[in-house]
Structure 1
């Protein structure tokens, strides 16, 4: 079955620690609800730097990466449906979904 990378963008800001904790509870519930589709629950990431031919940009640019998850699904559209219910979206973030390509290196 194809694998898909969910790349979380944006860093939701919470008014209180309790709001942040509630968000994490909701995220864990969402992840668990996906069952065997979750290949790797992934991780959040810290501050980033974008490297290009123009140089190095601190902070990840206009829409910085916030974390990743690896899912398996029959199609990219099925993976998108799974991503649409992620609490990261309700918290103001966005999720990029892309198929992980199998290739020999």
Structure 2
């Protein structure tokens, strides 16, 4: 099985209401449960990023497509990884997306 990186893109804003946080946590827990042992690293949400550009210029805007978090999964191939991502709870919000890339083992 190969490993794939899911990079979640969107606002990166966490729900502030307790009921919304619980619903989000329950949705993620359910999805991870469905994926089972395919989840190598459940990952975490991330905060707003900074971008370092050529020449050392720094932008504080999080980039053109802000990263909201990540997960690492195992799958047979990229099509299997895509199929697994289709039920990701983050996709309930049309402002979010999941970018999927194979992790290339160097050693």
Which stretch of structure 1 is more off in the superposition, 57-66 or 71-80?
Answer: 57-66
Distance 1:60 1:19 in 2: 24
Q: CA deviation at 1:18?
A: 1.3
SS of equivalent residue, structure 1 residue 70: strand
TM-score by length of structure 2 reads 0.87
1:12 touches 1:91 (CA, 8 Å); kept in 2?
no
Distance 2:25 2:65 in 1: 21
Distance 1:87 1:46 in 2: 19
Unaligned 5+ residue runs, structure 1?
Answer: none
Equivalent residue in structure 1 for 2:78, among 76, 79, 82: 76
Which stretch of structure 1 is more off in the superposition, 90-99 or 45-54?
Answer: 45-54
Moved >4 Å (runs of 4+): 12-15
TM-score by length of structure 1 reads 0.88
SS of equivalent residue, structure 2 residue 31: helix
Unaligned 5+ residue runs, structure 2?
Answer: none
Which stretch of structure 1 is more off in the superposition, 18-27 or 32-41?
Answer: 18-27
1:40 touches 1:69 (CA, 8 Å); kept in 2?
yes
What count of residue pairs does the alignment treat as equivalent? Answer: 104
Q: Does 1:100 align with 2:103?
A: yes
Q: CA deviation at 1:14?
A: 4.4
Q: Deviations over 1:13-47 (max 9, x none)?
A: 64733123201210111011101110111111112
Q: CA deviation at 1:59?
A: 3.0
1:2 touches 1:72 (CA, 8 Å); kept in 2?
yes
Q: Does 1:30 align with 2:31?
A: yes
